[in-house]
Amino acid sequence: MTSSLTSSLAPGSAVATTALLMDGLAYDLVVAHPQMFDLDDRFLAQVRRLAGDLPNTGEKVSHGRPAFFTKKVFAYYGGSLKVDGEWAQHPQSIMVQPDESDRRALLEDDRTFVPAYLGQSGWVGLDLDADTDWNEVAELLDASYRLTAPSRDVAELDARS
């Protein structure tokens, strides 16, 4: 693996042009961000199941975190935000893109946060714990999926109802 990594980098470059598939997830060979999740995380397993129920969904690791996508990412597992100049991690959370009216309501809930970088584009983070309402999580994933998925995938989802 090292020799393929070396041969895939331009001199002085820090960006790999190849990827590695490990445990069913795609990883860049040069990872700018360390893995920021536990493969055995029970909340992640539940999010994977819910996201996987949506048509033509894939999973990749982006910025060290699981990302669920069709053509575009519709959810991330885990997030962070800057508080008083320090990074506050939310490792057991989902980040989704709700519609604007739902976003306003969600942000009134103490379990939510505006994630770094994505928050300015309307994304919201929701912390997960033992009391999580998984129907609510499924609804949030569904809404974010509908905003980002190709119309044929949304039509396939609607046909299931």
Indicate whether 156 and 91 sit together in one domain. Answer: yes
Indicate whether 116 and 44 sit together in one domain. Answer: yes
For residue 158, what pLDDT is reported? 97
Indicate whether 9 and 41 sit together in one domain. Answer: no
Indicate whether 83 and 13 sit together in one domain. Answer: no
The residue range of the domain holding 7 is 1-32
CA–CA dist 138, 113 (Å, integer): 18
Indicate whether 28 and 104 sit together in one domain. Answer: no
The CATH number of whichever domain residue 56 belongs to comes to 3.90.1150.30
27 close to 115: Cβ distance less than 8 angstroms: no
Please write the tens of the pLDDT for every residue from 16-60: 334 555 555 655 555 578 899 999 999 999 999 999 999 999 999
Instruction: Report, in this order, helix, strand and coil percent for the chain, each rounded to 5.
Output: 35, 30, 40
Task: Give me the sign of the Cα torsion angle 45, 47, 52, 56.
Answer: negative
Indicate whether 16 and 95 sit together in one domain. Answer: no
Indicate whether 149 and 77 sit together in one domain. Answer: yes
Average pLDDT over residues 71-87: 95
Indicate whether 48 and 70 sit together in one domain. Answer: yes
pTM value? 0.80
Indicate whether 60 and 120 sit together in one domain. Answer: yes
For residue 33, what pLDDT is reported? 80
Please write the tens of the pLDDT for every residue from 101-135: 999 999 999 999 999 999 999 999 999 999 999 99
Structure token pair of residue 118: 């994505």
HSE value, Cβ hemisphere, 13 Å, CA-based, for 100: 2
In a 10 Å sphere around its CB, with 0-12 CB exposed, 13-18 middle and 19+ buried, how is residue 24 labelled?
exposed
Number of folded domains that form the chain: 2
CA–CA dist 39, 65 (Å, integer): 11
